[in-house]
Chain A
Amino acid sequence: MLVEILIAIILGCLMGLITGLTPGLHINLVSLILLGISPILLVYTSILAVASFIIAMSITHTFTDFISATYLGAPSDDTAMAVLPAHRLLLQGMGHEAIRLATIGSLVCLIVTVALTPILIFIVPIIFNSLKNYVGWLLLALVIFMILREQNSNKKFWAFGIVILSGVLGIIVLNMPNLKDPLLPMLSGLFGVSVLLLSLAQKVKLPPQKVTEHVKVGMKDKIKSIGSGVFSGSLVSIFPGLGPAQAAVLASQIVGEINTFSYLIMVGGINTVSMILSLITLFTIEKARNGSIIVVQQLLKNIDMNTLILFLSVALIAGGIATFLTMYISRIFSKIMNKVNYSFLSIAIIIFVCFMVFYFSGFIGLLILIVATAIGLLPNIVNVSRSNSMACLLIPIILLSLL
């Protein structure tokens, strides 16, 4: 069984690399395909090997999806809040540094969360039971805070407008029947294509990408970033409806002013923590919040302590492999970025995103992409925080929780 699981981990890491680098190809989709063909797979392998493959893939994906978010400006729901600071560093020739910081966040948060598992096993059910009815109010307070933190009344007004527009867009898109992968066109428009269009309009020139290690984050900031990454990643796994992007907004409000570097460490950690915590919630409250872990749940129903320890071991191995893969691929991307014209690359990425959106979501997806891009341009024009656009996910969840 050991050899079988090790092979599953290696294959899972490779698949996680592919899903991380390909915008629109989500681990949930791969996991569901695996679930569909599991009766055939189980003839050749064990159920634990299939589950280990899914976990290794999911963990690796949380590391590698920052590569496409940074270099291609193509965010998923996991990386939406990281794409902007990462892109900012890319425009300073520090794309690899951005990836390095996010990877530090992912790996350290993974280790911390696994180390905290004995405590989390006791704490998670208590937190879940005492706060599960207040998620909607918590997120509503967050949205109000996001608007009020803008500097003057004019900006507050525009922030309110962007929240409403994004929120309405989110409600329409998430309730659209028969729409596959609704988040891809919406988030690509709000945070991806709009940023690339602005770069094109401003004739931004990409400086040479350097593989450097100049960025140093102080120990205090590092602890703050890792702590908030673990905290907000835990919230994602415990509370229904709360995604990594909302948790990133929440955490950035809680920790207050942190610089771009610390922010990337924090956002890097959130997704990885939420994946680990999903395994813990599966064990403690028999609920999984991540799509791929839900597939693991459907394969195994419940997991016992031995299986949890096995899965945490798989996560540790996959996290280590994912770190090597991410740093290696990021170096390759850095070299490629130096050889291509940024304007040409931006146009190519926009066309690629349009193609992916059309492939996954059809003509309706393209329409959503256009509308989301238009809304995504607004924060830059009126000079308010782009995180207000995250209302596209926050407002639907608030309404779902409170109504």
Chain B
Amino acid sequence: MKETLLLKIALICSMVGLVALFFISQRIELKDYKADFLNNKNIGDSVKLSGKINRITTGNNVVFIELIQQLPVSIVVFTDKEVNLNEDDFVEISGKIQEYNGKEEIIADKIKVVH
């Protein structure tokens, strides 16, 4: 196999990879998350973030989640249904920033387990 042919195959290989990457990235909806969002956003802003669940506590119609970011982020889920989440689950959360007892937290309206 001549070097020019080898390089042509390499080019085709990269192109195929790029096309596959383009299509598959459309199907993976994992969004970026920023740990410092609480400092940059206002109370009431809708935000989306993802990360690993560090701790989960279940109360009466409420679930408290501590998400691992650069700083731990408190997530509150109000629900009357059973929540099937575990520690170490990688989740994507969307919700609104609220203030409670001087601390900011996210009131989640959607949680999706990614891994």
Question: What is the interface of chain A, defined by CB distance below 8 A to chain B?
Answer: 1-2, 4-6, 39-40, 42-43, 45-48, 100, 103-104, 107-108, 110-111, 213, 217, 222, 300-304, 306-307, 309-310, 312-321, 323-324, 327
**Contact call A100/B6, Cβ cutoff below 8 A:** yes
Please state if A306 and B24 are interface contacts (CB–CB under 8 Å): yes
What are 25 inter-chain pairs, A to B, with CB distance below 8 A?
A4-B32, A39-B70, A40-B70, A42-B69, A46-B32, A46-B33, A47-B90, A48-B30, A100-B6, A107-B6, A107-B13, A111-B13, A213-B3, A313-B18, A314-B21, A316-B14, A316-B20, A317-B13, A317-B18, A319-B10, A319-B14, A320-B14, A320-B17, A323-B9, A327-B3
- By the criterion CB–CB under 8 Å, are B34 and A43 in contact? yes
| Minimum C-beta distance from A296 to chain B (A) | 12
Enumerate B1-52 residues with CB–CB distance to A below 8 Å.
Answer: 1-3, 6-7, 9-18, 20-22, 24-25, 27-28, 30-36, 50-51
The docked-state distance in angstroms from the alpha carbon of A316 to that of B13 is: 6
Contact of A310 among B21, B36, B69 (CB under 8 A): B21
**Given A2-B21, A313-B20, A43–B70 Cβ distance below 8 Å?**
yes
Task: Tell me the minimal C-beta distance from A328 to chain B in angstroms.
Answer: 10
Give, as a whole number of angstroms, the nearest-CB distance from B1 to chain A: 5
How many Å from the CB of B2 to the closest CB on chain A?
Answer: 5
Chain A CB within 8 A of B68 CB: yes
Are the C-beta atoms of A300 and B115 separated by less than 8 Å? yes
Most chain A CB neighbours (cut-off 10 Å) among B12, B18, B36, B70 = B18
Please give, as numbers and ranges, the residues of chain B lying within 8 Å of A319 by CB-CB distance. 10, 13-14, 17
- Closest residue of chain B to A327 (Cβ to Cβ) is B3
| Chain B residues with CB under 8 A of A310 | 21, 24-25, 28
Residues from chain B with a CB closer than 8 A to the CB of A45 are 32
List A contacts of B18 (CB < 8 A): 313, 317
B6 cross-chain contacts in A, Cβ below 8 A: 100, 103-104, 107, 323, 327
Name B residues whose Cβ lies closer than 8 Å to a Cβ of A.
1-3, 6-7, 9-18, 20-22, 24-25, 27-28, 30-36, 50-51, 68-70, 88, 90, 115
Q: A39-B70, A320-B11 are in contact. Are A306 and B115 (CB under 8 A)?
A: no
With a cutoff of 8 Å between Cβ atoms, the chain A residues found around residue B68 in the complex are 39
Task: Provide the bound-state CA to CA distance between A307 and B115, in Å.
Answer: 10
* Contact pick for B7, options A302, A312, A318, A323, CB 8 Å: A323
Q: Taking A47-B90, A315-B17, A317-B14 as given, write out 4 further A-B residue pairs in contact, using a Cβ cutoff of 8 Å, ordered by the A residue number.
A: A100-B3, A107-B9, A107-B10, A309-B24
Interface centre among A222, A302, A306, A312 (most CB of B within 10 A): A306
In angstroms, how far is the closest chain A Cβ from the Cβ of B17?
3
CB distance from A339 to the nearest CB of B (A): 22
Q: Which residues of B contact A5 (CB under 8 A)?
A: 21, 25
List residues of chain A with CB within 8 A of the CB of B50: 47
Contact yes or no, A47 B30, CB < 8 A: yes
The 6 nearest A-B residue pairs measured at CB = A320-B14, A316-B17, A323-B10, A317-B17, A313-B20, A313-B21
B1, B11, B33 interface centre (most CB from chain A within 10 Å): B1
Across the interface, name the chain B residue whose C-beta is closest to A213: B2
Bound-complex Cα distance A399 to B88 (A): 36
